[in-house]
Structure 1
């Protein structure tokens, strides 16, 4: 039913999550094609040995991904297992990373940024309405669906997500320094508002090309964030509208209860009105992006950046019932074994 495309990306993952505190192992991402439709998917092959000690993490992500069906969120399509591996079949997103696309553009405006943030807000509102808090929104987790000029943006990486109402108050310090909300660093109980803060930080970067908070010293960085100290520096913000700045201020509000929700942000005139300017800010923004955000070392020749970036984040864990059985939480298509995997995909060996 599926044919192996023959593109194999070996990814040596060494990502240290701020709150999880673990490192990944070798994993393999393969592209496969459905014979009937020629539709490409990405298969993450995870050795079961690499999951030892990380069981809760993959169980969490699978539980989250199985509940999500949104046009701007990467989908988990199937789960398979062999005696030695867990296989996650994911929707393929191949349009590249957010910053790369902006830099490659010749023309980029506030309105472009507004339209991007609108898609992100809509997707995160969907998550929040389902009781899901992402907790690690950042540009690296925003990928374009395809190379089309008008491609939609996709949210990936749910390794730190939390489903509200599961009986525990969210208080674990997690996320990525620079994008994390003040209440998280203050080790206070927090809510969906942490995602809105992160969207504010992303909006800020999209309009100037550099982060609102930065210091080589993490302690000083956290101090800036705790105080919500940021500026709209000249000359980088001179040509940016007051409406855009007002929008950011409502999201990067120190007090969570005063901070805009996704629903409120979607009603702001910079998002739903006509206050976003059409002036070309590409030269300034792209120069700052290139200066402040190094190109991804995961780049691949066939433009599989999105695959690698997304799949390397899926280092989660799963519940192990025995040495050769993996049982994910509430699978969407049932838990398929290695024989079923071989029936759908050619070119995989165990």
Structure 2
């Protein structure tokens, strides 16, 4: 809990990261005071709406990428990116307004440490987490799982048990041919494939994502947003990304 508080304090000031107002303690608990997000989480939203259009998915993943880039600039990897940890500030908000939350499993990677803890939610865990040797590149894998789910409505790696899910992740072969992938653009599939690259050194870096043609087509309609994302990409080179 103390680590989460210190990370929250480090990550304030970004529109796509839930705002932290402080904390207080009583005899039994530590209470965090966070921004109220009345629109629920992205998991609930997707359950109600179903899969997103390519434009909607691109806008949603762009907002989350901006938040994760901000975290990486400050040497923080999230390690548990999933729809339940992405909040809608109010109902019917723009997908560009999504907020990243829940830093309970986040970690400081600014000193170049290689991590071996098994952290995260099974469906979203990167292959290198299962071999207990990983760094901040795991966040890009989880973003790829998120994008996959937003586009088609189901996860790329699944199973009847956690062990089966892990075996599917280790194989690292997401299905991009079954319904509805035949109706999804080649550009979207290319981006998903590169985010879900099993080899973390061949996986797209955060700064590669906003430059991808699919993101350029569906997100960067205005120069202001494009400049903002490019500035974050340059800053993310300082620590990680």
TM-score of the aligned structures, taking structure 1 as reference length: 0.59
Within-5 A mapping of 1:1-350: 58-69=1-12, 70-105=14-49, 108-150=52-94, 152-165=97-110, 168-188=113-133, 190-274=134-218
Tell me which protein shows more helix as a share of its residues.
2
* Distance change >3 Å, CA 275–CA 164, structure 1 → 2: closer
Q: Is the 8 A contact 1:76 1:91 kept in 2?
A: yes
* Distance change >3 Å, CA 274–CA 156, structure 1 → 2: closer
Q: Is the 8 A contact 1:241 1:275 kept in 2?
A: no
Unaligned segments of structure 1, at least 5 residues: 1-57, 277-350
* Distance change >3 Å, CA 85–CA 264, structure 1 → 2: same
How far residue 83 of structure 1 moved from its aligned partner, in angstroms, is 3.8
Q: Is the 8 A contact 2:74 2:110 kept in 1?
A: no
How far residue 266 of structure 1 moved from its aligned partner, in angstroms, is 1.2
Alignment partners' CA distance in 2, 1:125 and 1:275: 16
Alignment partners' CA distance in 1, 2:23 and 2:61: 31
SS of the residue corresponding to residue 200 of structure 2 reads coil
Tell me how large the CA RMSD over aligned residues is: 2.1
Tell me which protein shows more strand as a share of its residues.
1
How far residue 267 of structure 1 moved from its aligned partner, in angstroms, is 1.0
SS of the residue corresponding to residue 79 of structure 1 reads strand
Q: Which runs of 4+ in 1 moved over 6 A?
A: none
How far residue 129 of structure 1 moved from its aligned partner, in angstroms, is 1.1
Larger Rg computed on CA atoms: 1
Alignment partners' CA distance in 2, 1:217 and 1:191: 26
TM-score of the aligned structures, taking structure 2 as reference length: 0.84
* Distance change >3 Å, CA 160–CA 274, structure 1 → 2: closer
* Distance change >3 Å, CA 240–CA 121, structure 1 → 2: same
Alignment partners' CA distance in 1, 2:27 and 2:162: 42
Which residue does the alignment assign to 1:17? Answer: none
Aligned length: 218
Q: Is the 8 A contact 1:114 1:271 kept in 2?
A: yes
Q: Report 1 or 2 for greater relative contact order, CA contacts < 8 Å, sequence distance ≥ 6.
A: 1
